Amino acid sequence: MILLAALALLLDEPELPPCVAQLQTEPSACDSAIATENNRRVKARLLLRRAYMRNEKYQYEEALKDLDAAVAADPAYGVAWHERSYTHGELRAFAQALADSDRDVALRPGEADAYRERAFARHGLADFSGELEDRSKVAALEPKKPDSRIARGRAALWLGRFDEARADAAEGLTLAQAAGDSNGAAKARALQTDITLWTTRSGVADPEAACRQSDKTGRFGMAGLIGDCTAAFLAAKTPRARAELLTIRALAFLVAARDQAAAIDDQAIAVALDPGEGDWHANLGGSYVMARHSWAGKRELDIAIGLKDNWGARAERAAARYNLKDYDGAAADAKKSIEMQPNDVALVVLGDLARDRGDKGSAKLYWMTAYRLGERDDDLLTRLKGVGVDDPEKEAKR
């Protein structure tokens, strides 16, 4: 405690009660101390630490309440504004995240983390110029860190500044290799690969026509399609057109590059560019569910259904609700989806619900109906084996 007290004095930070040592394993360890603390600076720091642990457990709404209280208790506490920016970002409330980061930067103008968090917020708002500005500031503050150069290169990509991106990727790789940082080197090489994908075109005269034609034909694995869609995106004049082209490119990333993370990023930027279009929220929500991030998926699907109710969004939200153990909500969405349009996603959810309550007959019926509609993935075949259907093709002919 003597060492901690000396460090707190040196950093002009107040000494905190012993409960903070237990916070990582016991998130409620400081509840009593927070409730009774009269020193506003101490209270803010305790609230921040509890919020951090809540964020680690994806309890963003609860964390946000703590952070609201923390910045109210000590408005000059930049780290609390930083964590609140992060929390708002996880909630996809990027305008609020940006405002919080602006406060953090004003309070801690020499801290790279402040600009780094603001870059995340700006990316979420599709403010690529602002993002590159912040990434450049981070790289200037951390000239020897590979990740800072690599992140700046990625920001340059979104503006079509490919020469800058290449230079940053090369410098990031050099720095990582000099430091023996294998993870940083892998990130630099991944950026180099992405630069190649973004800049390699099919050779057609009209990249936008090629990009849109792939959407009509469903041929998303064509060589150079990611580059064509990138060129079209960078040249597009309206947010709507840019969102449409990114949506097509997301499918190309999934099919041609098998890169789900890149696809989700494209879908998220489509939402940022054209937030009033329900289809973009539905696409993003469905991808989150596929990536086993059902909480975020449900949030986007709620927005999608509010903007434009349709069977696809209902089916995906049914899957998200099932994963989140909201079984009544999952059943309601799945049934509503099937009323709108019979589909395999909703049928699989209803089958899972039937299996969970011990009704194997109903589960088999739902899953076989999904099979007859054309679903053939390994997960469905495994489900069918679990209810005694080893040969679903033979069963389907009965």
Q: What is the DSSP letter of 17?
A: P
- Give phi and psi for 240, each to the nearest 5: -60, -45
Tell me how far CA of residue 222 lies from CA of 157, 200, 215, 217, 351, in angstroms.
Answer: 22, 12, 11, 11, 36
What is the helix (H) or strand (E) element at residue 97, kind and residue range? Answer: helix 94-107
For residue 203, give every residue at least 6 positions away whose Cβ sits within 8 Å of its Cβ, in sequence order, or none. 224
Question: Is the pLDDT assigned to residue 391 strictly greater than 70?
Answer: yes
* 256: number of Cβ within 10 Å: 18
Question: Is the pLDDT assigned to residue 9 strictly greater than 50?
Answer: no
More confident: 28 or 88:
88
Question: Is the pLDDT assigned to residue 6 strictly greater than 80?
Answer: no
Residue 151: name the closest of 126, 109, 123, 181 by CA: 123
pLDDT of residue 234: 98
The answer to whether 152 touches 168, Cβ cutoff 8 Å, is yes
pLDDT band at residue 398 under the 50/70/90 scheme: confident
What is the maximum alpha-carbon separation in the chain?
79
Rounded mean pLDDT, 216-238: 97
The answer to whether 86 touches 113, Cβ cutoff 8 Å, is no
- Give phi and psi for 274, each to the nearest 5: -140, 65
Mind giving me the DSSP string for 249-312?
A: HHHHHHHHS--HHHHHHHHHHHHHH-TT-HHHHHHHHHHHHHTT-HHHHHHHHHHHHHHS--HH
* 71: number of Cβ within 10 Å: 20
pTM of the model: 0.91
Q: pLDDT tens across 135-186, in order?
A: 999 999 999 999 999 999 999 999 999 999 999 999 999 999 999 999 999 9
pLDDT of residue 294: 95
pLDDT of residue 11: 52
Tokens of 373: 């509609």
Question: Is the pLDDT assigned to residue 244 strictly greater than 90?
Answer: yes
Tell me the pLDDT of the chain averaged across its residues.
95
Q: pLDDT tens across 262-304, in order?
A: 999 999 999 999 999 999 999 999 999 999 999 999 999 999 9
pLDDT band at residue 13 under the 50/70/90 scheme: confident
